[in-house]
Amino acid sequence: MFVDYSNSIVNLACSILEHFGADSEHNTLKEVDELLKYQYKNVVVLLLDGLGVDALQYHLSENSFFRKNLVKEYSSVFPPTTTSATTSIETGLTPLEHGWLGWSLYFSELDKIVNAFINTEKDTEIQAADYHVASKIIPYKSIYEKIKAAGIANAYSVSKFGSNKIKTFDELTDEVKRLCSTSEKKYIYGYWETPDSLMHEFGCYNSVVTENIKELEEKVADMCKSLSDTLVIVTADHGHCNLKHYILSDYPNLLNMLKRPTSIETRATAFYIKDEHLDDFPIEFNNNFGDDFLLYSKEEVIEKNIFGDGKIHPKFEEFIGDYLAIAISDKGIVYSEDSKQFISNHAGMTEKEMKIPLIAICKK
Query: pLDDT averaged over the chain?
Result: 97
d(CA 335, CA 124): 13
Taking only the tens place, the pLDDT of each residue in 34-71 is: 999 999 999 999 999 999 999 999 999 999 999 999 99
Taking only the tens place, the pLDDT of each residue in 114-123 is: 999 999 999 9
The pTM (predicted TM-score) of the whole model is 0.97
pLDDT of residue 9: 98
CA distances to 12, 265, 279, 311 from 340, rounded to whole Å, are 32, 11, 30, 33
d(CA 29, CA 263): 32
> CATH assignment of 9-99+140-239+350-363?
3.40.720.10
Taking only the tens place, the pLDDT of each residue in 157-172 is: 999 999 999 999 999 9
pLDDT of residue 226: 96
Taking only the tens place, the pLDDT of each residue in 251-270 is: 999 999 999 999 999 999 99
Confidence of residue 1 (pLDDT cuts 50, 70, 90): confident
> CATH assignment of 242-345?
3.30.1360.180
DSSP letter at 110? T
Domain with CATH 3.30.1360.180 in the chain: 242-345
Q: What are phi and psi of 334, to 5 degrees?
A: -115, 155
Domain with CATH 3.40.720.10 in the chain: 9-99+140-239+350-363
